[in-house]
Structure 1
Amino acid sequence: MRAVVQRVKQGSVTIDGAVRASIGQGLVILLGVGPEDGPENASALARKIAMMRIFSDEQGKMNLSVLDVQGEVIVVSQFTLYADTRKGHRPSFVKAAPPDLASPLVDQFAALLREQGVPTQTGEFGADMLVKIENDGPVTIWLEM
């Protein structure tokens, strides 16, 4: 499981002209699922991100988690995180999990964040989404579990 975590001042997901998710301060997480991933990957990644100290404290040091700042999260499924670009000019996505495996794991990941007390919204699996991100910092972190 791969995630690109972006600390944001605000973020949103629009599908077919309608806003599906919208947050203020928090995280926009682009989440990719590989064919070998399972519930244990989703659980470990959700714990890691919920507790990751990437928000600034009073001294300007990254010492606070999304929970500490009472931030929100948007999770966006992103199979393109598994792009293989080693050959040619067109990426291959054969290393991404098929939808029947990936979709439930994306949902489980979002549910696990909610269970930890992080208000979490999602995009729509497989949809053509317009993702707006006002990156704060900018802080962008890549994780793999």
Structure 2
Amino acid sequence: MDRRVAAVLVVAVCAACAGPVQGVQGRLVGIDDTGLSDHAIEEGWVAALPGVTAADLWPDLPDGELRYAAGRLEAGDVTAAGGVVAPVGGGGRFSLDVPAGPTLVCWARGTVDELSTSGCGELDLPEDGRVRATFGEGGFSVSVVD
């Protein structure tokens, strides 16, 4: 798989930490397929890239593999891309302060200096509202919550 994620993602690490929460609110949930309850994932980062599609980053990515997309994120290389990397906090909560519209969203783990995606998804991000991101055996997914 082509790992050009580093050239496209943005890290605005604590923009959401300094004052009122802005943008679309989200929650990251771990899905268990063994019969245990779903649980909040309280670690990592959620990256959102408005106007970017999976095909822009991975033109040869096989169908169905976006949810498992793995790649390194380089904060310094991606500042001008127009996206955000939001920290995942208590209860799995995060905030995506990016323009509404088609958006590539990825869950990343690691430190700010060494982030790696654990899966991505595409959605039409609303101007306000909520999203639900999940991770489990079936990979990563993200959807708008009504």
**Structure with more helix by fraction:** 1
Same fold per superposition (TM over 0.5): no
Which structure has the larger Rg over C-alpha atoms? 1
- TM-score normalised per structure 2: 0.30
- TM-score normalised per structure 1: 0.30
